[in-house]
Chain A
């Protein structure tokens, strides 16, 4: 054993690393020591600034001199690929024991080349843990570094890593921001990229970094807006973004308020969309009682009364309008105002007896705005129509008409649940889920607003639609 010649038996060696992340240096020294058969318990590894070893009181220069030199024909040192991969990362950990651990496993690998495969071994497991923690720290650095613009396309960030990862991650930021000038300042050393070369410098302080960037306001707006208060999960956030990182992330200052307001925002949304749970009415009388008491949409607060449909309870034809108007509200019956009178005329003309039909509205209350002393009709919103659909469906399931005639787009929405174009859908039946069919045409009030030629033309189309319904009804009820 030639290597043993310059190893003093029982001697203890201290190796002083030039930098805490200098894996190449460690590798070089570890290789030599193993070739000289120095067992792990006789070596200690000292980082710059770290406390020296109890047994090796000599200064770095002297102890370096005392390291044994392997002979030229010493056995080559071998390690598995997996060891190299993990060790490179584990060496960056801030655990002062890491180099000793790596040396111990490297030593064992010489007699058991497959030792790294056994994750149940405590040393191997520890290397895996160190590697994982360093990878996580690097990953968080990639994620949480926040650049601030200091000049024309020149950016500076401040970051506080847990481990010695800065130099090892310079490549990531260089590849990502290749055509940008940037610096990352950390208490463990800094890296600077000018678009061509990477430069390193010593530790920096927080005050050395710029304190703000106008774009951060936009970013904070984005952060607050993308948060869904109905899904509050603070634990999930904390496990991925622990508080220690918050102080260097501009958006983090919003978190306490976002959390505090979340429950109220969610409750507000739920309450706004809340409806009284009702039992399905079993008779038209129950519908009439129900609509009188219904306060599910804001129209009910207009101070008008609910207008129930009227007509035969087993009518084969159901005619649905938009909502009661001023006259209907005063008289308490559907389709008695000017539009109702026009409808009566047209029905008469088409040969449909109104008394055999069930006439109702998509929305049961009159929605209006005061203009002087007059109450001016307001079109119900889609949501109001959808809300009232509950009652219309109840009427339809009780009356069971064969044919439903919707007058206007609101009525059609009340029956279909979606907005359709009257112009496109008129003149042909649309099958409904219960097997009946829907015919869509314009509302008679539309005809009242037209003048001259347009009025005649639309009047004819309306008459044609009614005639088609009459014919279809005759076919179905024969």
Chain B
């Protein structure tokens, strides 16, 4: 009987947690269980222990402590006015479940979030307690991601950072008007204030560790946030702008985008439609351009179309290159790293390979083909000793040539 109820609770509280996109377990301090009393390790790369049919990785046990909530955010499945089934775990149940899954190698750790019950402080205390049981009573050395509640006392958020590898607060919507319309109980200043405090605490802990070897770590995997895409009228330009401000202001490790997806018993204010998955994908690509390819937020904005949104049929890097054809073709044998990173179809790995290989030989087109994923895609934008795209870069129908072919629908 009791296992039956545990299973029901797990179903409800995992279902309630699935709209949080983050499942990362990478980039934290290296730990292992040698010389300890418990289990767990984190070694560099995150591990995805399974993939759901939605293509998303399952790395952590991602659940809510409870889906009861006193807030009424229209986009949220757990809002007060929704009539979904409610359930509640005790911190001990969460800890036991995490350990049982971890011992069977199902997960890298725990991602615990919660609806707000009673008060922000009470909720935060319960979250911290689950992490404390794992860390202190079971010497658990796997990954823990805790969601901070911005309205909670800073001391509680502080404790969360001492137990967790990562803490996060969701900004939810890129514009203030969107937030006040769709999340009337949330407050932008409060959310950003809490993120600012967390940033200061992370910097302080890093500084302490430089001086004292045994100073406690504080959220070694940093903090992240999430924005919902497609629930309000924000354009891609707004979203990219907000993301880059957040990266700069709060030193975030990641900004996650979550396409607004149909939920059971949706709010009347937000009509449901298919989630804008391709738009979400393009936003992630633009995020990568800013983080790894040296694009400024303004340059990503240059890649958008007249309506302020990124094109859906081609990726933002190609869109930018097509708009600024004067910068191409670049000479693979002479171009700087920055120039090569702007060539559509060349990733950071391929660029590194090219830079190394060209010290040994003058690259020809088939050399480049060996170093890249698809030569057809990069060819119009570069020249080698035996290849010049001549007319290709100037062709008016280049976009049509490079865009992925539309698949013809099958008879149904």
Binding site for B on A (CB under 8 A): 114, 117-122, 125, 139, 142-149, 153, 155, 157, 172, 174-180, 213-219, 221-237, 240-241, 249, 251, 255, 258-259, 262, 266, 269-270, 272-275, 296-297, 381-384, 386-387, 389, 416-419
CA distance A5 to B80 in the complex (A): 88
Contact partners of A174 in chain B: CB under 8 A: 34
In the assembled complex, B39 has its CB within 8 A of some CB on chain A: yes
Contact partners of A175 in chain B: CB under 8 A: 32-34, 41, 43
B261 near A226 (CB under 8 angstroms)? no
In the assembled complex, 10 residue pairs joining A and B whose CB atoms fall closer than 8 Å, in A order, are: A120-B367, A176-B33, A178-B34, A215-B101, A216-B104, A225-B12, A226-B58, A227-B18, A231-B56, A269-B262
CA distance A45 to B53 in the complex (A): 43
Choose among B48, B74, B82, B361 the residue that contacts A240 (Cβ–Cβ < 8 A). B48
In the assembled complex, B185 has its CB within 8 A of some CB on chain A: yes
A226 near B17 (CB under 8 angstroms)? yes
Answer whether A237 and B359 are a contact pair too, CB < 8 Å, given A120-B367, A266-B274.
no
A179 near B36 (CB under 8 angstroms)? yes
Contact partners of A262 in chain B: CB under 8 A: 53
Contact partners of A223 in chain B: CB under 8 A: 50, 52, 58
Which residue on B lies nearest to A114, using beta carbons?
B360
Contact partners of A272 in chain B: CB under 8 A: 264-266, 272
B48 near A155 (CB under 8 angstroms)? no
Contact partners of A383 in chain B: CB under 8 A: 81-83, 265, 267-268
A178 near B36 (CB under 8 angstroms)? yes
The 7 closest A-B pairs by CB, nearest first: A236-B55, A382-B81, A233-B55, A386-B268, A418-B184, A175-B32, A273-B266
**For chain B, which range describes its interface: under 10, 10 to 19, 20 to 34, or 35 or more residues?**
35 or more
CA distance A384 to B262 in the complex (A): 18
The proximity string for B residues 73-86 relative to A, scoring 1 for CB distances below 8 Å and 0 otherwise, is 01000001111000
Choose among A121, A179, A237, A384 the residue that contacts B33 (Cβ–Cβ < 8 A). A179
In the assembled complex, B275 has its CB within 8 A of some CB on chain A: yes
CB-CB contacts below 8 Å: B331-361 with A: 353, 356-357, 359-361
Contact partners of B105 in chain A: CB under 8 A: 145-147, 157
Choose among B61, B267, B273, B357 the residue that contacts A222 (Cβ–Cβ < 8 A). B61
Which residue on A lies nearest to B270, using beta carbons?
A273
Answer whether A119 and B33 are a contact pair too, CB < 8 Å, given A226-B52, A381-B81.
no
CA distance A146 to B82 in the complex (A): 37
A139 near B43 (CB under 8 angstroms)? no
CA distance A231 to B277 in the complex (A): 7
Answer whether A179 and B185 are a contact pair too, CB < 8 Å, given A222-B10, A237-B53.
no
CA distance A350 to B194 in the complex (A): 47
In the assembled complex, B241 has its CB within 8 A of some CB on chain A: no
B47 near A227 (CB under 8 angstroms)? no
A295 to chain B, nearest CB (A): 13
Which residue on B lies nearest to A213, using beta carbons?
B104
A225 near B51 (CB under 8 angstroms)? no
Choose among B58, B185, B272 the residue that contacts A274 (Cβ–Cβ < 8 A). B272
Which residue on A lies nearest to B70, using beta carbons?
A419
A231 near B34 (CB under 8 angstroms)? no
CA distance A173 to B50 in the complex (A): 18
A381 to chain B, nearest CB (A): 7
The proximity string for B residues 239-274 relative to A, scoring 1 for CB distances below 8 Å and 0 otherwise, is 000000000000000000001011111111111111
A144 near B49 (CB under 8 angstroms)? yes
Contact partners of B11 in chain A: CB under 8 A: 221-222, 224-225
A389 near B10 (CB under 8 angstroms)? no
7 further contact pairs, Cβ within 8 A, besides A179-B36, A417-B184, A417-B269: A114-B360, A120-B367, A155-B103, A226-B52, A269-B266, A296-B268, A418-B184
In the assembled complex, B323 has its CB within 8 A of some CB on chain A: no
CB-CB contacts below 8 Å: B45-68 with A: 45, 47-58, 61-63
CB-CB contacts below 8 Å: B249-306 with A: 259, 261-275, 277
B45 to chain A, nearest CB (A): 7
B53 near A233 (CB under 8 angstroms)? yes
CA distance A209 to B97 in the complex (A): 24
Contact partners of A274 in chain B: CB under 8 A: 271-272
A419 near B266 (CB under 8 angstroms)? no
Choose among B48, B50, B275, B363 the residue that contacts A230 (Cβ–Cβ < 8 A). B275
Contact partners of A229 in chain B: CB under 8 A: 54
CA distance A274 to B101 in the complex (A): 39
Contact partners of A148 in chain B: CB under 8 A: 104
In the assembled complex, B72 has its CB within 8 A of some CB on chain A: yes
Choose among B33, B51, B267, B360 the residue that contacts A118 (Cβ–Cβ < 8 A). B360
Answer whether A178 and B370 are a contact pair too, CB < 8 Å, given A222-B61, A228-B261, A234-B53.
no
Contact partners of B185 in chain A: CB under 8 A: 418
